[in-house]
Amino acid sequence: MANAPGLRESKKQETRQLISDCATTLFIERGFEQTTITEIATAARVAKKTVTNYFPRKEDLALDHHEAFTQGLARTVADREPDETPLAALARARRAALLEHSPVIGFTGPAFARMVADSPTLIARLRELHDQREEALAEALATAAPGSDSGPAQAIAPRAAAALIAGADRLLFRRIQELTLAGRTDDEIEAALIPEADHVDALLAAALEAA
């Protein structure tokens, strides 16, 4: 009986992944807007309510890394090494994600990238997620900044820094998607993006140091 909660949680994760996989297959085959929740439930052999319990928004069936995406930058700042600056930690994490070809930063494969690009709903949802990512980063930077309550200039600084960092992050995400749709392999995208990311990080360091 001691193992029951673990088994239940494992079963929930399996069901969630099954629903997500079936949804992704249907979205790619038919298009996001054209696929219904009922069709996804049928493909996954679960009740329609089961689908909506796991994924309250249809968009989350396609963009199922949304929590890791929105909280990723903030967690990197919060979990950085004691002697590491937020910007250095973010640069390190970005490079690691590029080397891993992480789907969280845009490595999704051509079929998935095309499905997203063809869906106004998913494009709008991505904008929302990028905005949430920036907001979470701003909060993490405010927590990390010494003397953040000492005046209006200090209070706005984390938000300004987050806007710059998240904007650069959004640009690199779009670059990965663009190159994917252009037919480049993940290895080719990595090779192209590593120097671009390094250049962006240098620009951010210069801008934030001058601020």
Residues whose CB is less than 8 angstroms from the CB of residue 57 and which lie 6 or more positions away in sequence, other chains included? 125
* Average pLDDT of the residues in 45-49: 96
In this prediction, residues 7-25 reach a mean pLDDT of: 92
Q: What percent of the chain is predicted at pLDDT more than 70?
A: 92
Show me where the domains of the chain are located: 4-62, 66-210
**How far is the C-alpha of 181 from the C-alpha of 146, rounded, in Å?**
43
Q: Mind listing the pLDDT tens digit for each residue in 141-179?
A: 999 876 555 555 567 899 999 999 999 999 999 999 999
Alpha helices in 31-117 (DSSP H): 37-44, 48-54, 58-62, 66-78, 86-100, 110-117
Helices (H) and strands (E) counted in the chain, each on its own, are 10, 0
Q: Please say whether the beta carbons of 126 and 63 come within 8 A.
A: yes
Q: Average pLDDT over the chain, rounded to whole?
A: 92
Inform me whether the pLDDT recorded for 4 exceeds 70. no
Q: What is the mean pLDDT of residues 186-199?
A: 97
pLDDT tens, residue by residue, 87-100:
999 999 999 999 99
Q: Domain 4-62 - what CATH class?
A: mainly alpha
Confidence band (pLDDT; 50, 70, 90) for 210?
low
Q: How many CB atoms lie within 10 A of CB 109?
A: 13
Write down the pLDDT at residue 163: 96
The structure's pTM equals 0.86
Contact 123, 173 (CB under 8 A): no
Please give the residue that has the higher pLDDT: either 28 or 1.
28
